[in-house]
Structure 1
């Protein structure tokens, strides 16, 4: 959920002084410079979360013991994947790829890593499933890290959404460079938010929870929409203001979720914002030195906007996908941000689209969302066909659209009992992914 794929470029001078107390001005300046830094616009990465279960149980109906999650993870983490692996609070496995120079390189890299992971899991009588929410099992936290204990406690007022989000959900997080200059950063930031509801509905894959249909096509997104609005959703921005300035102020005004301590719980005083801690120091947190850069970095990792700036843009609104279909949202996002003309078309398609709640609840049952989804998929496929290196990926996008989008459907409309029969959507030669 919160793992970097290696884009982030910090400031070495400040990084060398992580324990030096911060001021409000220094914190705002660091966020602006670091979270919205420029870089080569073509680079792309992925964070794929997968649900783990028993072999022969593709819809994850049977309980998977806590020790099984940890044992499986301990075996998988030693594989030579191109990236890093993380065990998430409910036993989800997250593969965080290295950033790659092109979409084609990314898909080849992630495909190779997933092939290794799935094969090793099968040898251990386990499977890795791409779904936005575990469709049958009750959420439970299996990790004991103080970070996740504090997070669970913080989200208690928003039960059961908090536990569901932490322990039962999985996503495809597409990571793209913020942009080559300040103008491109602003345009990409706005575009990724404007396309969000349509893309979330297009790739919705979480229609079931607790063994029955939830009433939402995007139950995972619904959980996020039900959580603390001070740290989720769409940050409040002034149209006349630079996004880095707006985001820095929004971030510092978010309540603290946790405070690092050498020993004991990481709880934070209720309602205390990071800005308050910077200003008041030990007067409000007497058992800790004043906040420093490491505290700021941790606080930023507890903010969950639909698009999170981390020196690159982490797109968080797409459900995990079955089989190899994870490559399609990566390809669609890559194509739609590839040049200003295409981006302008995408923005025009999405103008006036329904809000996030409608996208999560109704999905492509809404005619307006469905029409926009078809147009975005066609635009992305056309753009991908212009490059010989991505024509096979264009075909995969078109196959996805034919299977679901053109029919007004998404993977959320598939019954979990039929998941074992789903087309895995592999566009590459050779083997599983």
Structure 2
């Protein structure tokens, strides 16, 4: 396959050792853990009739100069006023990705301002953001078509309908945390995974889809879990914990099947079952490059993904301003090594309960008990975030409400 000339071809990778070394350099950048970022995604609906499809042209007009090039190749793709980038996902979901901030207070304030700007843009077009991690009203339907998304759909279709559900109907909340100093990375990596099931359970919002109850607390996570385990399963778990996160991630990435192989035509569908390790061994007509490897890891979707920082991908979208609560909880749990250690110790016994968290939420007793403990740890660490008094009090009350819900869940 010939690479499109506008694609950066990078350096040819000669073998697995070169690929592993490149991944270690780019995926775990160590240093003081000072920055926090967030990515917020929502389904988008007609304000008068949430069941009505919203087409790409309506989204393009609403977003104007902030429209991503996937919708309008001529758009400047301007950031929002406080620096958030706007993207549109395959089903028309809108996402904003913030720059990392050195204080949680600054992150929350800037993100709320950009979110207000986004809401105003959509409001002029009679559009509103959804309130949950799943499209409550409409069945899966493509809105944005690109070679990447077509290849993604084709590969996911080999495993059933869950891929289309994920692509076109789900909305998530991602929190981005520094990997930390070299001696902290292992603990932060393990804790980021371990707290996932109890926090997924506590913040599950995706129980309805296309006008009906799904039987899941988080049908969004259920869709992810059903797609392709080699691409979506957690990298870390207590039973297969690797003391070297970079080595574990490299093994995961190289063993994962290709989702697409970029070229200069419209069809990027890869041969079935070919992994990146197979590509390194000569399975495709040309050898892979560092750019191919970086693109490949962008097609892997575990609950925690290293991108130089740790991207925590397991939370459902939250209604209204509630997105600030899980951001504050996670920032508090990772604010100092002692709290992170205690969070890991509390959550390790339930670290494999992803399926139970998606299915039952806080109705699962071990998850509810652990969530309550994590909320206690977050409340104790909250003053260390340095939030303004009003924001601190508001966040403290919100976490206490979540803790009370967890208490009710495990009785």
TM-score, length-normalised on structure 2? 0.89
TM superposition shift of 1:236 = 6.0
- Among 41, 44, 56, which residue is 1:52 paired with? 44
Query: Could you tell me whether the CA contact under 8 Å between 1:45 and 1:99 is conserved in 2?
Result: yes
Is 1:87–2:88 an aligned residue pair? yes
Unaligned runs of 5+ in 1: 1-14, 411-433
Is 1:319–2:316 an aligned residue pair? yes
TM superposition shift of 1:49 = 0.5
TM superposition shift of 1:32 = 1.1
Q: Where do 1:329-344 residues align within 5 Å?
A: 329-344=326-341
- What residue is the counterpart of 1:253 in the other structure? 255
- What residue is the counterpart of 1:274 in the other structure? 276
Q: Where do 1:140-151 residues align within 5 Å?
A: 140-151=141-152
Alignment partners' CA distance in 2, 1:293 and 1:308 = 18
- What residue is the counterpart of 1:307 in the other structure? 304
Is 1:384–2:385 an aligned residue pair? no
Alignment partners' CA distance in 1, 2:316 and 2:142 = 20
Query: Could you tell me whether the CA contact under 8 Å between 1:328 and 1:396 is conserved in 2?
Result: no
TM superposition shift of 1:407 = 2.9
- What residue is the counterpart of 1:345 in the other structure? 342
Query: Could you tell me whether the CA contact under 8 Å between 2:259 and 2:269 is conserved in 1?
Result: yes
| Aligned pairs, number | 388
Alignment partners' CA distance in 2, 1:115 and 1:75 = 16
Is 1:361–2:362 an aligned residue pair? no
Q: Where do 1:4-403 residues align within 5 Å?
A: 18-57=10-49, 60-74=50-64, 76-77=66-67, 78=78, 79-181=80-182, 183-235=183-235, 239=241, 241-280=243-282, 284-286=283-285, 289-353=286-350, 355-386=353-384, 388-389=386-387, 391-403=389-401
Cα 1:387/1:138, change in 2 over 3 Å: closer
Alignment partners' CA distance in 1, 2:262 and 2:401 = 47
Greater than 6 Å deviation, 4+ residue runs: none
Unaligned runs of 5+ in 2: 1-6, 68-77
Alignment partners' CA distance in 2, 1:299 and 1:198 = 29
TM superposition shift of 1:23 = 2.6
Cα 1:387/1:291, change in 2 over 3 Å: closer
TM superposition shift of 1:73 = 3.4
**Which range is displaced more, 196-205 or 63-72?**
63-72
RMSD of aligned C-alpha atoms?
A: 2.2
Q: What per-residue deviation string (whole Å, max 9, x for no partner) do you get for residues 168-219 of structure 1?
A: 11111000111122x2111100001111100111111101012111100011
Q: What per-residue deviation string (whole Å, max 9, x for no partner) do you get for residues 42-97 of structure 1?
A: 1011111111112245xx33332343233323454354341211111000111010
**Which range is displaced more, 64-73 or 375-384?**
64-73
Alignment partners' CA distance in 1, 2:356 and 2:365 = 11
Cα 1:39/1:74, change in 2 over 3 Å: farther
Alignment partners' CA distance in 1, 2:263 and 2:407 = 48
Alignment partners' CA distance in 2, 1:139 and 1:224 = 14
Alignment partners' CA distance in 2, 1:276 and 1:246 = 18
TM superposition shift of 1:381 = 2.1
**Which range is displaced more, 341-350 or 160-169?**
341-350
**Which range is displaced more, 184-193 or 18-27?**
18-27
- What residue is the counterpart of 1:407 in the other structure? 405
TM superposition shift of 1:399 = 3.2
TM superposition shift of 1:19 = 4.7
Cα 1:65/1:365, change in 2 over 3 Å: same
Alignment partners' CA distance in 2, 1:351 and 1:255 = 29
Alignment partners' CA distance in 1, 2:385 and 2:59 = 41
TM-score, length-normalised on structure 1? 0.84
Cα 1:368/1:393, change in 2 over 3 Å: farther
Alignment partners' CA distance in 2, 1:393 and 1:170 = 26
Alignment partners' CA distance in 2, 1:394 and 1:158 = 45
